[in-house]
Every structure is written in structure tokens, then in C-alpha cells.
Chain A
Amino acid sequence: MIGADVMSGVRLPKRKKISIGKKISIYNKPKLVYIPLISSNDQNITVLVKKDDYVFKGSVIGRRKGNFKMPIHSSVSGKVLDFEEHTYLNGEKVKCVVIENDFKEKMEVRRTPNTVINKYSKEEFIDILLNRGIVGLGGAVFPTYAKYDVKSKINTLIVNAVECEPYITADFMLFKEKTEEILEAIDAILEINNIDEAIIATKKSNTVLNKLLTNFLGTYLKIKLVNVPNIYPMGWERDLVKKVKKVTYNKYPIEKGIVVSNVSTIFSIYEALKLEKPVIERVVTFTGEMLKEPQNILVKIGTPVSEVIESIGGYKRNKELVFVAGGPMMGVALPSDDLVVSAGLNCVLVLHKIKPTTLTECMRCGKCIKVCPAKICPVLIKDSVNHIDDLEDYRADQCIECGLCSYICPANINIRQFVRIGKKKLNERK
């Protein structure tokens, strides 16, 4: 009762209405794209092009070194101009390939769309996932093929359509507009991988999506819809599995025969199976109180975000802005709008600067402990940042950096930062 069975979390304000007013728009005419040479946070990339090379839309321009040989594709056809550094969504500068768009959208090989997408063997399926660069589009950018390339039986596929972070609506809009395609893809994945059932997880309060899905699900006997409470971070893999399937696991859900995939990732799998299309574009939510026209936009990988914002009307004011890559809880505020679109960017959030409030000392109220979904004690970790043995006792490595401890603290202390330091110290020790 008091222990690990109760799920912790907080009901956050949704703030989703401002970006769901219109359908997903498209911005696909960037003059230059800057393809980040980074794959799943790893910058060890073999570059396969050089200056003045001509590349096709969708051709491989780099490949990750190491165990997961994920390719990086060009999102436009044109000439390679240079290599430059631009800001990635984690706030750091990353080397990028600068390609001049010739606006011809030329692909190397023209293929007709496949009529059915479930006639692949499992090996072919894994191969497609790998070579089309499918990664987790929920933000974690984990190489998707590695999730499915397992010897043990997969019993359940959980489709994560929860999108628990406030402001972000990319998954919702995509699911709403491409429902049939996504369901077809889920069905195909079940068949190809011999999975028994699929469970689509949505928030209880997401009435539009729930109604839409119940209309379609009649035709798919193996796909079920399960509602989860509107609590952040309900979309966190561990809590979602616990809520939907009532099991816990050590490191990966496959230990209990479960695979969790984000709904936008499923759509990119659909495009890969149907059109052999690699990951070269994604839906990004451009939102926040300081944007004139918040909306969801389909953008190419490598597009400069400042260009996109200008095309939709720009900012309400130009001073005292906070420009966040990602959502309000897990996103990072950047010093300028130099950001380029990458597979992991699900949201660009522009807010008014939050006034710094006077901090009091920690009064040990214990609220951070009550809300922590990872069941660790942030305040105690904060006190022992300099004692590495205590950090190990308090399991600082379990932190998922959801930000709820900082959110709830009455003394306005940024506790998450302390836990991050503790987590880093523990990881360095290993």
C-alpha cells in the first residue's frame, strides 16, 4: 500500500487546446537543411558524403558506429555545401551536414506503394526498421529495430498514445488524421512478429481520440483500447506497463514479453512498410503563449526552426522569451532560435520569461518524495550530493528527470538539477 504499487504523479494543466485548432500544416520548402550527425544521442557517425556531392532525398549520408548501425538520411535532394555546427534539442552544438535544397524532391529509386504491408517476414521487417532509420519519436530516439529484434516471444504491443506532457499535441493530431494507416500498421506488426494482442493506451480525458478509435476498432479484433488517468508521467514506459498490463520489469519490458512503441513511431513504420520511406520528416508541435499561430507542422529533418516560426507569423513579442526545445517538463531552453529539426524534436515551446522567485531554504516538507514516479527521495539525494555512498543507497541512478520534484517544491528549489548531478556522479563511478 505504501510501497511501489501506488503510482506517483501529478495532474498537470493540459494546455493542449491552443495547438489543435487547425489540421497539421506542412512546411517543406527550406532553402537549406542542416542534417544533425547524431543518432540516439551518439555523435560517433561515419560520414558518407563530402562537400559538393549530390545527394538524393532519402539517401544515406552517414551511419552510426558501434553496435546499432543506424543510418542517417538526407531529407531533400541537392548539393552538399558544407559542415556546420548548430544547436541540437539538448542545448548542445552538433555537427551538421549542410545541404542546398534543389526543390526537386528527387529520390534515388522510384517505388510504387505496396498494396499490403503485412507480407514481410520478421527478418525483412527488422531489416526495414534498421535501414529506414526508424527511431522512437516520442523523444527517446531509441533504435526501434532493437526492440523487435528479440528471440523471445512478444505477447503484447502497447501503442503509447498518452502524450502526457502539457502543450504537446503532435501524437494526437497525427493519430487523428492518420487513424486508418496507423491501425493498419499495428495490425501488420502483430502479424509479422506473431504478437498476440495490441493495446492502444490513451488518456481517459482524450474524448475526441477515444471516440474516433472506438469507431474503427471493431474491424481489428486483436487491437484493444485502454484508458489511463490524466497524470504526468503516465506515458513513461515503466508506469504505462504497470498500469496497462499490471506487471513490472527490471530493465526492459521485453522481459515480460511486452514491447512499447510511440504512436508516431508506428506511423513512420507504416510509411517504411508501405512506401519504403525513411525517417526524413516528422510532425512538430509549435506552441506556447508567445507564438502568434500555434499549430502542428510536418517539417523535414534539418529544417531551421526559426524559418518555420517566421512562416507561421512569428512571435508575439521579441523580448523576454523562453525558447524551449521539447515540452515544459523535460525540454531545454535554448539561448537562441538556432535549433534544427531532428527525429527527437516533438515540440517547440515559446513562453514568456518566468520571473525568478525568491527561494527559501528547503523546509523538508516531503512533497518531492510523494510525487516522484521513480520512487526515490529527491530531497535526501539533494542533501547527499557529496557523499557517493549515500547516493547509491538512495538510488539516484533511477531518476527519469521528469521534473516533478522541481515542479512541486514550495521553496522553488530546482531539485531535479541536484538529482541530475547525483546521477551523473554515480554513472561516472561505474
Chain B
Amino acid sequence: MKEYNNQMGPYLKHNNSTTKMMINLLITLLPIILFSFYKNGILPYMNGNTNFIGLFYPLIFIGVAGVTTFLVETLYAKLFLKNRYDSISVFIKTSYGYIPGIFLGLILPINTPLSILILGSIVASLVGKMLFGGFGNNIFNPALIGALFITSAYSLVIANNGGYLNSFELDTISSATPLSNASAMTEIGSYETLVEPYGSLSDFFIGTIPGAVGETSAFLCLIGFIFLAFTKTIKWVIPVVYVLTVFVITCLIGNLNGLGLWFPLFHILSGGLMFGAVFMATDPVTSPTTPVGQVIYGLFLGILTVLFRFLTPYPEGVLTSILTMNMLVFIIDKIGAKSRLKFYHAVLPFLAAWLIIVAMGFTIGNKYKDTEVKVDPNYNILSSDKEGSTTTYVVTQGGYHGNIKAEIIIKDNKVTSINILEISDDFYPKVESANYIDELLEKQDNLEGVDTVSGATVTSSSLKKMLINTLKDYEEKNEK
């Protein structure tokens, strides 16, 4: 009798492997890292805003985070997990310690000091992953744990260092990210106030807007998503449902306030939502395993993100939503498992989700409709003298750098002159050479339709607003 190997079946094996999936993930991250190198390193360097080290700083930033998490994990395994793995090289090959670090580097503001980044990486690795039992056992997304730690404890330090904007953006754009700009306003905003300060929606899509190190390019996240979904590497249901939910709710809100399609698009393309949906929410270990569970997860992620964005002043809505839902994955998977055999188990969560979506859309939308459009807080009337049919205004309007002071004369219900008294905007000469003031005077009856001067968007926009606000005040006072 010959002796044979009686290993357990099955004796056929599909050729997919964890290694292949991780490689696919790294391939997808490569263009994103390169883009962040371009936006945060090359652009400032070419514009003279930073030195040679600053050119490579984004790569250093991500690298430091990746190396730190890798070292922390390996050290922890060497000290505490000796009996679980045959050798440390087996651990390294199967634990993927650098992945949380790379993600952490991509979702933080570029001005995070390196020391804090290292501290956050240690927290991400220890608290987010190793203390739960290492790869496969963590409940929370480790990169998000690190990011939560950093943004809660050190937000002031980072803000003083420049916040989310890199040196190039600090030079060219007003000092806020699109979402902090949006949440600073009390009314719902308009295309000019939400989108235009940063360019157009295509800038949002490409990613040349202020934001975290690698979160901004929705375009690269989209092609990454297509690649990962096609190669069956990620749970593609989650980002689709997540982004769709945010789109639907913001569509409702925008619709109730007469805003066009740009409004929900603005919300999808900002705040690192695409990045969070494709890479953070689909982290296999911390997201639901059942198909129905993944749909429920995506629905509630969308609900929470909109809730945090509109009803709270706190930043990082995507981060908080994902961490909150991470806690509930266990229950969601139970519902998902039961509904696989009998679908009625899923009916209640779905109904609840859709009810909340519609309710949120209406409440938030109406809340904004009710707040009257207040007078532009950046606008101030210094003096207004009326003599007969002539009213002379001296007003200030917040411009690109500081205030614009001007004298506006309205005679016989028509603006006859605008004299700029004080302006410290470097871009004003461009506005002057475009004869913008004359254009404003000419089209004073339809100022909303007047374009801004390209290359001096904020300055010309402020001048336009100044005239609109003055006219509004004039109309109110004269009950025109």
C-alpha cells in the first residue's frame, strides 16, 4: 500500500489571493499619490512658494506615515505576537502594515507637523489595528482612528501652521477649503459663493482645490473605483450607494432652494467624499460582508455625512460617518445574513433609511429657505447722503486682500459713477484694464448675469457684489 498525502479538499483553487488584491489597491493609489505630489509639491515649487524640500514634501509626508505604521506593527508583533506567526517575515507579508500609514498620510492636511503625523501614525497602528488583534480583527478603520486623533487633539496647531491649504493655494485662494467656506455662511450659498472662489466644477472634479494631501481628485478616485470594481478587489456596492445617497439628499435640498444640478455635484466632489467612499468605506475588514448589509451601510453613511455637513459645525463629516458606521457593522451583518435567506428582514432598515433620506432633504432644505438672505456680512455702508434725486454712498466690500472702499453715486434711480477710493488688491489692474467698472455700470439692470474677470475672479466678484448690495439697500430705502 502506498502512502499518499491526505490533505483536505477542495482540490481546485481559484487563483485570487489577498496579495493580488493589495497590489491592485496600491496600483490604484499610485496616480493619486502622484497627483498629490503635483498639486502640493510641483505647483508650489514652480510658483516659487516653496523650496526644493517642499517640492518632495508630499511624498515625504506620505512616506513617513507609511513607514511609521509599518515599524510600529512589526515591533508590536515582535514583542507580543511571537507565538502566532512562524517568523517575522511571514507576519510582514501578511499584515500589510504600511497601508494604514499611506492612507493616513493622504487624508491629513499638508501642514500637519511631522512630529504630530508620526504620533498619529503610532495611534492609528496601535489603537486602530494591533490592540484589536492585528490584521483582520480591527473594528475601526485604522487610518481614520489616527486622523480622528490628530484632528481632535491638534486642529489648532495645524490651523496655525496653515491648515489644509498648501503654500501655492495660500497665495492664490482665500484661506479656506470649499466646505469650511460653505459652513461659514448662514445661507445656503450660490454658485458664485460656493464654487467660483475655487474655479469651476471641473476644478473640483480634477482636484485642483484645497483639501487634504491626496483626497481632492474625484476624477482619479473614479477611475480607481472602476479598476477596483472591475478586478473585484473592493466591495463596489458601498461607494455607489454612499455617493448616490449624498447626491439624492443634496439634490432635494438644492431643489427646495431653487439651486441647479451644480449643488449636489459640488457636495459630491468636495470634502474628500469620493476618496472616503472608494477607499475608506470599502476597507474590507471594517465593512459589512453581506451584500444587503453593504447597501444598508452605504445608505446610512450618506445620511450621516449629510447630517454632519449641514447640521453640525464640525469638520471631517466623512471620517466621523465611517467611524460611526464601523461600530454598527456587526448588527448590519446580522441583518444582511438573515435577509439572504428571507428577504423580509431587510425591509425595515431599508424603509427607515429612505424615510430618513426624504425627511432630511425636506427639513434641511426648508431650514435654509426660511433664513432670509441677510445682507452680505462683508459689506458695510460707511455713509449714505441723499440730496434731491442723488444719493451718494461710501461703502466697503471685502475683497481679495482687505476691503475695497468706493464711492457710488446714484442719480435718478440709476448708478452714474463708481469711484474706487481704496483698494489693496494686487489683481485690480487686471480689472481696470478689462474696463470692468464700465461694464458694471452698463449692465446695472442685470448684474447677476455679468461675468467675473478671469484671472481676477474674487476681486471682480467683490466689486459686483458691492454694487448689488448697494442697489439692494437703495431699493429698500426707496421702496422701488
Footprint of B on A, CB under 8 Å?
Answer: 2-4, 10, 12-13, 91, 166, 306, 318, 320-324, 328-338, 349, 351, 353-354, 356-367, 369-370, 375-377, 379-380, 393-395, 398, 403, 406-408, 410-412, 414, 416-417
Set of chain B residues within 8 Å of A356, measured between Cβ atoms: 7
Complex contact A377–B289 (CB within 8 A) = yes
Contact A364 B12 (CB under 8 A): no
Q: Which 4 A-B pairs have the closest CB atoms?
A: A361-B136, A3-B343, A403-B10, A366-B289
In the complex, residue of chain B having the shortest beta-carbon distance to the beta carbon of A321: B4
Q: Are B333 and A380 in contact (CB under 8 A)?
A: yes
Q: Once the chains are docked, how many angstroms separate the CA of A39 from the CA of B239?
A: 53
The number of chain B residues with a CB under 8 A from chain A is 49
Q: Can you pick out 5 interface pairs between chain A and chain B where the beta carbons lie within 8 Å of each other?
A: A318-B2, A321-B2, A362-B136, A377-B336, A398-B341
Task: Determine chain B's interface SS by DSSP, over half rule.
Answer: loop
- Residues A330 and B9 in contact in the complex (CB < 8 Å), given A3-B339, A4-B341, A360-B135: yes
Which chain B residue lies CB-closest to A380? B337
Which residue of A2, A331, A334 contacts B291 across the interface (Cβ within 8 Å)? A2
**Contacts A3-B340, A4-B340, A360-B136: A393 and B334 contacting too (C-beta < 8 A)?**
yes
Chain A contacts of B94 at CB under 8 A?
358-361
Question: Is B477 among interface residues, defined by CB-CB distance under 8 A?
Answer: no
* Given known contacts A166-B12, A360-B18, A410-B21, A370 and B1 CB-to-CB distance under 8 angstroms: no
Give CA–CA (A351, B1) in the complex, Å: 18
Cβ A333 vs Cβ B17 within 8 A: no
CA distance A417 to B336 in the complex (A): 23
> Taking the complex as formed, is B16 at the interface, i.e. its CB lies under 8 A from any CB of chain A?
yes
Name 8 extra pairs, CB < 8 A, besides A410-B18, A416-B9, A417-B8.
A2-B291, A4-B341, A333-B8, A353-B5, A354-B11, A366-B291, A375-B340, A393-B337
Please determine whether B4 and A410 come into contact, CB atoms closer than 8 angstroms.
no
Chain A contacts for B338, CB-based, 8 A: 393
> Is B374 part of the contact surface with A, judged by Cβ < 8 Å?
no
CB nearest neighbor in B for A403:
B10
Q: Does B13 contact A (CB under 8 A)?
A: yes
Q: Which of B21, B284, B289, B346 neighbours the largest number of chain A CB atoms within 10 Å of its CB?
A: B289
Q: Given A321-B4, A334-B6, do A365 and B340 touch, yes or no (CB 8 Å)?
A: no
B292 within 8 A of A: yes
1/0 contact string of B75-104 vs chain A (CB within 8 Å): 000000000000000100110000000000
Contact A376 B16 (CB under 8 A): no
B residues near A166, Cβ cutoff 8 Å? 12
The answer to whether B289 and A334 touch across the interface, beta carbons within 8 angstroms, is no
A328 touches B11 (CB 8 A): yes
**Quick one: given A328-B10, A407-B10, are A336 and B284 in contact (CB under 8 Å)?**
no
When the two chains form their complex, are residues B9 and A332 in contact, meaning their CB atoms are under 8 A apart?
yes
Which residues of B lie under 8 Å from residue A351 when comparing CB positions? 11
CB pair B136 A364 closer than 8 Å: yes
Residues of B within 8 A of A (CB): 1-14, 16-18, 20-21, 90, 93-94, 134-137, 232, 235, 284-285, 287-292, 294-295, 333-334, 336-343, 346
Chain A residue at minimal CB-CB distance from B20: A410
Asked if residues A363 and B11 are in contact (CB atoms below 8 Å), the reply is no
A236 to B16 Cα, complex, angstroms = 25
Q: With A and B bound together, what is the CA distance between A330 and B337 in angstroms?
A: 25
Q: Given A4-B340, A394-B337, A407-B12, is A335 in contact with B6 using a C-beta cutoff of 8 Å?
A: yes
**A377: nearest residue on chain B (CB-CB)?**
B337
Given contacts A2-B291, A380-B289, A411-B18, contact A329 B339 (CB under 8 A): no
- Knowing A358-B93, A393-B334, the reply to whether A363 touches B341 (Cβ < 8 A) is no
With A361-B136, A363-B136 already in contact, the answer to whether A412 and B13 are too (CB < 8 A) is yes
Bound CA span A394–B1, Å: 43
Tell me, in angstroms, the Cα distance from A328 to B334 when the chains sit together. Answer: 32
A394–B136 Cα distance when bound, in Å, is: 21
- Point out the residues of chain B lying under 8 angstroms from A380, CB to CB: 289-290, 333, 337
Complex contact B137–A365 (CB within 8 A): no
Q: How far is the CB of A255 from chain B (nearest CB, A)?
A: 18
Report yes or no: A364 in contact with B289, Cβ–Cβ below 8 A.
Answer: yes
A376 near B341 (CB under 8 angstroms)?
yes
Give the nearest-CB partner of B133 in chain A. Answer: A361
User: How far, in whole Å, are A306 and B20 apart by their CA atoms in the complex?
Assistant: 40
Cβ–Cβ contact A363 & B337, under 8 A: no
CA distance A337 to B134 in the complex (A): 43
Closest residue of A by beta carbon distance from B90: A358
Partner of B235, one of A322, A329, A366: A366
Q: Which of A318, A331, A359, A407 contacts B14 (CB 8 A)?
A: A407
Chain B's closest residue to A390 (CB) is B334
- A329 and B10 within 8 A (CB): yes
Closest A residue by C-beta to B93: A358
B2 touches A336 (CB 8 A): yes
How distant is A400 from chain B, measured CB to nearest CB, in Å? Answer: 13
Q: How far is the CB of B312 from chain A (nearest CB, A)?
A: 30
Q: Please indicate the chain A residues that have their CB under 8 angstroms from the CB of B14 in the complex.
A: 10, 407-408
Contact B9–A379 (Cβ < 8 Å) = no
Q: Are A363 and B18 in contact, CB atoms less than 8 angstroms apart?
A: yes
- On whether the beta carbons of B11 and A333 are closer than 8 Å, the reply is yes
Bound-state CA distance A407–B11 (Å) is: 8
Q: How far is the CB of B83 from chain A (nearest CB, A)?
A: 15
B341 and A410 contacting across the interface, CB-CB below 8 Å: no
Q: In the complex, which of the residues A166, A323, A410 has the most CB atoms of chain B within 10 Å of its own CB atom?
A: A410
User: How far apart are the CA atoms of A3 and B344 in the complex, in Å?
Assistant: 9
Bound-state Cα–Cα, A331 to B6, Å: 11
**Per a CB cutoff under 8 Å, which of A13, A318, A361, A398 touches B12?**
A13
Residues from chain A with a CB closer than 8 A to the CB of B137 are 361
Are A403 and B9 in touch, CB under 8 angstroms?
A: yes
- Could you tell me if A353 and B290 are in contact, using CB atoms closer than 8 angstroms? no
Which residues of the other chain, B, contact A12 by a CB distance below 8 angstroms?
12
Q: List the A residue with the shortest CB-CB distance to B291.
A: A2
Identity of the chain A residue whose Cβ is nearest the Cβ of B21 in the assembled complex: A410
* Complex Cα–Cα for A411 and B21 (A): 10
